[in-house]
Structure 1
Amino acid sequence: MAAVEHAQPDLAASRRLSVVRRYIAEHVVAVSAAGLVLACAAFTGTLWGDDGSLWGVGPVAVFSQGRWWTPLTAIFVPDSAVDTILTILLALTGFAYAERLLGRIRLLGVTLVVALAGNLVATAIHALLWTVSDLRPVEAAETPVLDPATAMVGALMAASALASALWRRRIRVVGFAVLAMFALYAGDTDAWYRLVAAALGLLVGLWLVRGTPRRSWHRSSTRETRSITALVVAVTGLGPLAAVLAGGGRGPLSFAVSFFTQYDENLIDLCATRYSPLCDHQLAVVVTRGVGPGLMALVPVALLLVAALGLRRGRRSALVLAVVVEALIGVLAIWSVIAGTVSVGPWGDPTWLEYGLWAVAAIGVSLAMACALVVLRRFFPVRADRRAVLWFTGTVSATLAACAATHLVAESIFRQTYVQRVSVTDLLVETLRRFVPPSFLRNLGQPPYPTHGAALLIYQWVGVLFWAVFIVAMLRMYRFPQHAVVADDERYRRLLRRGGGTLGFMGTWRGNDHWYTADGTGAVAFRRVGDVALAIADPLCVPGQRDQTVRAFVDHCADQGWSPAFYSIHDEFLPIFREMGWAYTSVGEETVMVLAELTLTGKAWQKVRQPMTRAERDGFVALWTRWDDLTADQIAQIREIDEQWVADKALPELGFTLGSIEEAKDPDVALVLAVDPEERIQVVTSWMPSWRSGRRVGWTLDYMRRRVDGPNGLMEFVIVKTALRAKDDGLEVVSLSGAPLASKPGGAAESDRTLLASLLEQVAAALEPAYGFASLFRFKSKFRPEYRTLYLAYSDPVKLPGIGIAVLRAYLSEPSARELVAVARAGYGGAR
């Protein structure tokens, strides 16, 4: 036993060593670059704190002192120990990823070209700008630049052109956002040189992929749009904070930092020579400064970061918070300009360009961000339920009242510690001001304030306590589930397990409402679009109560003033609608594999059997799993595949009866992945369960994605493997789901052709170039399925236009005007 226990740590260590060896073998250039940077730092002494200016690049070094070698040496020698560590980390991560994309030889060439060109171009721009007096706040021409990260950042931007759509967008958006943040706010010379190298790297990348058919613009999924928006909001907060940590910042936008500090040093200097009413407030802030007021000054930054966390989750409350904070910052900047409190020289002064840049930073950026969030509001629909809102409101209100009362009472007791005699009105006004960041109070006068003792302590910290509670309450509200929806969903699922057909599980998806019969034995899942209630799939009811369930739901819609329509129902419900005098039309075809008839023998199955055999021979496996059981690496791969699929579409991701990655996360949903021998996921499919009498009887294909550069035939491999396992498990059917807006030849009688049918055909034609419903339908025919027509039933032909528009809006999920135009253009192109 002791020998076994001793062998286990040795085996783990051996595996770790094997991972390291494989990493080094795959990233030789990146690892070598990290070692070279460390060696250069040690050789030049910058690793120990010595001055390495001799190796740095800059206008003086190149043009005045003739150190022509510095554009090259500056990309190998870091300027400090911290810079060495950060550069090594960048080399082993981002630069290593660039090596995977470009290859070793091409990476070396691109890195040298981008680094040398970047340093030379940046040096020339630096020299030119230094000759313009209006830009002299930018660091001096004598300041040398020692930054190996310049070369690596440029190479990574060049390599991004070869990345997938998901990572190409992320590298560029995140990279340029961070680089611009440090350049424009902190303003150190290294940041500007890195930004220039990144821009040149982007151009080199475009040159590398010249001639390759690629769209210049790629659509983002809802999830990615949320992530990017959250990132930009976070950067607008972290930019000023980075400048604060850098000692106030030297960049052209660093004037905006004054909104996030306790007091304005420039104004304090001016007050020493010239008095204005603003000096009273600045003096009060200086006298009462401390950790508490410092944290209060950073409240806008903290709120923007909290908002960014919520935006990433699609929270509407986070959207409101971000819009309010960004708008207030912009309005404050406008008021500062009007009141003349901006601490720069007047127009015509040599600092006039700084004045304009300050206006862009403090006014333009904030207001533009607020407007952008309003435009993108449809991507953040997740609202907290009523209970969560009441809890948040109660908590914040109670905290505000308690803090205000504490401050008012304490300051009344310790009036003698105030700088001058204080009245009740002064105490009330100052109590309200304690919850406002100091920069927002510049132009509002200054009541008396305490100078020492308990009064000063409460004065400094009461606002911090309130905002701390506010932030914690906001973060907790993000986690509140929508209890009413969850309870309703569980009730629907219980009925679904009794029997809901192959498509009934779609009723559990987010965005659907549920209606129940009076006795609770029947239910209808529906999506309300305007005044149209689109019932989804077959109603849940026992066979003998179909008529009563349908009629009761129709009566419910009449009471609510809605126009009911039943979407994606099967043949067995059509007699009910005929008896009611309703009309119906085909809206798609469901393809169902009857497992008892599945043999995979004969010529008819050859197109399926060959891909499966080839995939098994090449070492592919079909991994059966659930979302909660996936590893972090597997989730990242699935998201990359999904984002690539969305980015390659000219139209937005559809919903309604077409599931996405979010629906694949349901615990009842199975995932079947095609994984290659290198454990790289090539195909992702999700399967919805169908039950009868509490027993699972089948699976229904929903979400299906594949890598654009993956081998052909893997989708057939996954579907057949799923069907064979389902057959072994004793299930009855595997549905390949419905093909929306598609029909088999002769599938609809002429008597059923209506205005709505024509409209749906036009919608299908518009969406076909982007989504290929017809080609998908033909693909599914390989599996020799049984065809089951799906219908839309409706009561009043007068309401057909509204129903058709409701169907389109349900699929596009609150389409924007641009998306509707895209549909029209796609339809026009498809018609040709």
Structure 2
Amino acid sequence: MTSTTIEPTPEATPKVADRLRGVRAAITAVPFTIALWLVVFVIGLSTGSFWRHTSHLSWYHDVAFGLPALEEGKWWTIVTSTVFEPSPGKYLIALLLIAVGIGWAEWRLGTARVVVVAFGGKIIAELLSVLLVWFFSRDFTSWEWADHLARTRGAGTITMVVAAVAVASATLRSPWRLRVRVFLGAVVAITFLFEGTFGTLQYVLATIIMLPIGERWFSTREHGYLPRTRREVRMLGCAGVLIIAGANLLVFFFPGSGPLGPTDGNDESVYTMLIVLVINLLIADQLRRGRRWAWWVAVVLGLLNVVVTVLVVILVAFTDFDSEGGVTVGTTLLWVVVLAILIPGRFAFATPWRIKRSGDDGGDPVAQVKDLLHTHGGGTMSWMITWPGNEYLFAENGSGAVAYQRHMGTLLALADPVCASEDLRGTVRNFVDFAERSGKTPCWFSVGEATARIADDLGWRSVQIAEDTIVDLPELAFKGKPWQGVRSALNKAKKENITFRLVALADEPFSIKSQVRAISEEWVGDKGLPEMGFTLGSVDEALDPEVRVALALDESGSVHGVLSWLPVYAPADGSGTPVVRGWTLDVMRRRSDGFGPVIEYLIGSSALAFKDEGAQFLSLSGAPLARSDDAAEAERMDRVLDSLGAAMEPFYGFRSLHAFKKKFNPRYEPVFLSFRDESDLPRIGLAISRAYLPDATPGQLVRLAASTRSE
């Protein structure tokens, strides 16, 4: 009989070693999580709590915490209650949550801080719970639920998990910091809705207390509770209403008893339940679409629910009022979470039933504007007038259009009119007459020389506010010292196996679109101000089928950077086929930990691709509120606009971006603001700030103003 020794392959040994190192690193990173998990597991196993209810055993009262324990002098139960669970099911849930929740929090916060946060949050929530139960169970109240809790004791580790996750959420970046917080609030509220126990009361209090503590002392690069983008507000608002609808459905089929009594409200009508469910689903869908009416309905319903619940709590606690559960504290907590998103995020719900238009009836105005662009062509900023937020003034015969926005009593006409060249003067005059009749302050923002000249002929004034950076493509070749940076980026990308794709983002798979959104929302979250609008698009605008998107991907399919290019159409050539003569850069995002010169690589690769397609130029777009020669124009421009540009620079880097584009050796075309006279400029400056920051809260605008004063 022979024996054979199998030698490990050279490839296998390093893999095993790498795995062992990975396990060792994981153990080193979360020692508190592992220790806590083992303690809870060993106690559950040794006491037999995995197969029987600990709360039924005689010694449970010596380790569980509550008002009776303090009255008996068992102060140690504040600590011992942490590692015991009342039932086998709770033990399994606790072990899972320790591994996931405490482990994640320890990874984000570090071992020392997670120990302080978890135990500190648990103790604070326990003591405050006892205080509230003691207060509402006194002789001057008659709240049966509080009386019941005053006689009970509780134990469990989950409060520690809630406290740790609440604090660790402050270390995340947008959009995940708010998503985690909303998810935590929803889970805690639903748990309280269906259980209403002493333990679930601690979950609620731990969430309320530890979220501000985390925000105040543990936030890193980003601060605040508000979502940064319109899409995020709409998505979370929609999800919140859907969760409320689902909770109401579960309560109908599985009624229980909560702090205010039975949760079914003696409502046996399936039809009523279905009607309410359909209404909630309709509201949720319209919130997702950003409808203004849906926001009003949701806010009114939520406020009514909160007010009624507060009144019922007062009546139940201090009178003999018998609540039948028509409202519940749990669903009210859910409404509080939703209202905390909707009320500060009201800016995201400005979509009316239909886009306002003047001078034409019927049809889709945005589709009509696109048809006009296909027919008459446009400038480098013309495609921006197809974005949400614009209203339209059409010529009587529908042959031309002006896009404008209303802010601060001002009509801001955006970009040049879309019309035939021979109709330009008449279209400009038509808008001026329309604005004068409306009693608003009119101006033209980001127009070319032709429109500015016509405005000057009408007695207006025009000043340069930006420069459009144009890269001509027919003779483009990345040769010579001026193009060294772009060549280096292209060569480095080739060495690191970074590939370029030029796509229609709407046709890409979910994995690509989700990565693009994540990169964009992380970028917005870093700025401290919400997503900008007006002449700055977002991922939503990049999903337009006529917009091209440049992607930089590595071998694993991870997106490292993204650009979006808006079409610039030439006047129709008679064939009926729209002709693209150039492309304008809009969205420009890079992954924070990705390929370094990804933007240079994407712009250079895009230029070569568009050149091969026959395009004449690229516009790297004019940096808003930035000029190459500030001194020459500052004497003619009101201080408001210069101050606004200076104030936004730390947040969005407009002027540094303008300098970055110089490495592509562009030529410059002036971009103008046209206005009636200098007395209009203060109002126009405020209107432009609101147009660029339609989503900013008053507090954020105060910060912007403060940064302006510090310049």
Question: Structure 1 length as normaliser, TM-score?
Answer: 0.66
2:182 alignment partner AA: V
Q: Distance in 2 between matches of 1:571 and 1:508?
A: 22
- Where does residue 794 of structure 1 map in the other structure? 675
Note if 1:736 corresponds to 2:613.
no
1:728 alignment partner AA: D
- Offset at residue 560 of structure 1 (A): 4.9
- Where does residue 668 of structure 1 map in the other structure? 546
**Contact in 1 for aligned 2:175/2:522 (Cα 8 Å):** yes
- Where does residue 221 of structure 1 map in the other structure? 229
**Contact in 1 for aligned 2:446/2:673 (Cα 8 Å):** yes
Note if 1:587 corresponds to 2:465.
yes
- Where does residue 497 of structure 1 map in the other structure? 374
Q: Distance in 1 between matches of 2:498 and 2:80?
A: 52
- Where does residue 651 of structure 2 map in the other structure? 770
- Offset at residue 505 of structure 1 (A): 0.6
**Contact in 2 for aligned 1:326/1:367 (Cα 8 Å):** yes
Residue number among 569, 576, 585 corresponding to 1:701 in the alignment: 585
Residue number among 524, 538, 541 corresponding to 1:646 in the alignment: 524
* Secondary structure of residue in 2 paired with 1:636: helix
1:322 alignment partner AA: A
- Where does residue 527 of structure 1 map in the other structure? 405
- Offset at residue 823 of structure 1 (A): 2.9
**Contact in 2 for aligned 1:219/1:648 (Cα 8 Å):** no
2:492 alignment partner AA: R
- Where does residue 642 of structure 2 map in the other structure? 761
- Offset at residue 783 of structure 1 (A): 0.7
Residue number among 77, 88, 107 corresponding to 1:79 in the alignment: 88
Q: Distance in 1 between matches of 2:278 and 2:367?
A: 37
Structure 1's 205 and 741: CA in aligned 2 closer, same or farther, altered over 3 A? closer
- Offset at residue 590 of structure 1 (A): 0.8
- Offset at residue 827 of structure 1 (A): 0.9
**Contact in 2 for aligned 1:330/1:366 (Cα 8 Å):** yes
* Secondary structure of residue in 1 paired with 2:523: helix
- Offset at residue 305 of structure 1 (A): 6.0
Note if 1:622 corresponds to 2:500.
yes
* Secondary structure of residue in 2 paired with 1:226: helix
- Offset at residue 778 of structure 1 (A): 0.4
- Where does residue 274 of structure 1 map in the other structure? none
* Secondary structure of residue in 2 paired with 1:598: coil
Note if 1:178 corresponds to 2:187.
yes
Cα offsets for 1:772-801 (capped at 9, x unmatched): 211110011111111111011234445444
Structure 1's 343 and 298: CA in aligned 2 closer, same or farther, altered over 3 A? farther
Q: Distance in 1 between matches of 2:121 and 2:344?
A: 37
- Where does residue 319 of structure 1 map in the other structure? 295
**Contact in 2 for aligned 1:114/1:197 (Cα 8 Å):** no
| Match runs of 1:385-464 below 5 Å | 385=354
Q: Distance in 2 between matches of 1:521 and 1:683?
A: 39
- Where does residue 560 of structure 2 map in the other structure? 682
* Secondary structure of residue in 1 paired with 2:478: coil
Structure 1's 305 and 807: CA in aligned 2 closer, same or farther, altered over 3 A? same
Q: Distance in 2 between matches of 1:219 and 1:362?
A: 22
- Offset at residue 172 of structure 1 (A): 2.3
- Where does residue 12 of structure 1 map in the other structure? none
Cα offsets for 1:721-749 (capped at 9, x unmatched): 11121112221111111111111127856
Structure 1's 612 and 59: CA in aligned 2 closer, same or farther, altered over 3 A? farther
Structure 1's 612 and 630: CA in aligned 2 closer, same or farther, altered over 3 A? same
**Contact in 2 for aligned 1:593/1:786 (Cα 8 Å):** yes
Q: Distance in 2 between matches of 1:371 and 1:200?
A: 16
Q: Distance in 1 between matches of 2:342 and 2:611?
A: 50
- Where does residue 353 of structure 2 map in the other structure? 384
Cα offsets for 1:625-672 (capped at 9, x unmatched): 223223333333333323322222243332111112221221111222
- Offset at residue 206 of structure 1 (A): 7.6
**Contact in 2 for aligned 1:565/1:794 (Cα 8 Å):** yes
Cα offsets for 1:29-74 (capped at 9, x unmatched): 89999x9999999998877x64355899965335799999965754
Residue number among 595, 598, 609 corresponding to 1:714 in the alignment: 598
**Contact in 2 for aligned 1:220/1:647 (Cα 8 Å):** yes
- Offset at residue 568 of structure 1 (A): 1.3
Structure 1's 623 and 201: CA in aligned 2 closer, same or farther, altered over 3 A? farther
**Contact in 2 for aligned 1:307/1:322 (Cα 8 Å):** yes
**Contact in 1 for aligned 2:471/2:665 (Cα 8 Å):** yes
Greater gyration radius: 1
Structure 1's 740 and 88: CA in aligned 2 closer, same or farther, altered over 3 A? same
RMSD between superposed Cα atoms in Å: 4.9
Note if 1:60 corresponds to 2:69.
no
- Where does residue 166 of structure 1 map in the other structure? 175
Structure 1's 94 and 242: CA in aligned 2 closer, same or farther, altered over 3 A? farther
Percent of aligned positions that are identical? 31
- Offset at residue 493 of structure 1 (A): 1.1
Cα offsets for 1:739-769 (capped at 9, x unmatched): 111111278568xx54x54332222223223
- Where does residue 290 of structure 1 map in the other structure? 268
Q: Distance in 2 between matches of 1:67 and 1:317?
A: 52
- Where does residue 191 of structure 1 map in the other structure? 200
Q: Distance in 2 between matches of 1:232 and 1:71?
A: 33
Cα offsets for 1:361-384 (capped at 9, x unmatched): 999997998799566544311222
Structure 1's 794 and 644: CA in aligned 2 closer, same or farther, altered over 3 A? same
Structure 1's 822 and 314: CA in aligned 2 closer, same or farther, altered over 3 A? same
Note if 1:609 corresponds to 2:487.
yes
Q: Distance in 1 between matches of 2:537 and 2:669?
A: 20
Q: Distance in 1 between matches of 2:452 and 2:119?
A: 73
Note if 1:51 corresponds to 2:59.
no
Structure 1's 46 and 728: CA in aligned 2 closer, same or farther, altered over 3 A? farther
2:586 alignment partner AA: D
Structure 1's 167 and 621: CA in aligned 2 closer, same or farther, altered over 3 A? same
**Contact in 2 for aligned 1:178/1:235 (Cα 8 Å):** no
> Which consecutive unaligned segments of at least 5 residues does structure 2 have?
1-18, 139-144, 573-577
**Contact in 2 for aligned 1:334/1:363 (Cα 8 Å):** no
Q: Distance in 2 between matches of 1:68 and 1:527?
A: 60
Structure 1's 39 and 240: CA in aligned 2 closer, same or farther, altered over 3 A? farther
484-493 or 649-658: bigger deviation: 484-493
191-200 or 709-718: bigger deviation: 191-200
Cα offsets for 1:671-702 (capped at 9, x unmatched): 22233444332322211011223222221111
2:564 alignment partner AA: S
* Secondary structure of residue in 2 paired with 1:165: coil
1:593 alignment partner AA: V
Q: Count the aligned residue pairs.
A: 659
124-133 or 164-173: bigger deviation: 124-133
Structure 1's 740 and 69: CA in aligned 2 closer, same or farther, altered over 3 A? closer
**Contact in 2 for aligned 1:608/1:717 (Cα 8 Å):** yes
* Secondary structure of residue in 2 paired with 1:622: strand
**Contact in 1 for aligned 2:185/2:337 (Cα 8 Å):** no
Structure 1's 565 and 129: CA in aligned 2 closer, same or farther, altered over 3 A? closer
Q: Distance in 1 between matches of 2:684 and 2:213?
A: 50
Structure 1's 746 and 376: CA in aligned 2 closer, same or farther, altered over 3 A? closer
Q: Distance in 2 between matches of 1:324 and 1:123?
A: 34
Q: Distance in 1 between matches of 2:387 and 2:248?
A: 41
**Contact in 2 for aligned 1:628/1:665 (Cα 8 Å):** yes
Higher share of residues assigned helix: 1
Q: Distance in 2 between matches of 1:716 and 1:123?
A: 55
Q: Which structure ranks higher in relative contact order (CA pairs < 8 Å, sequence separation ≥ 6)?
A: 2
2:228 alignment partner AA: S
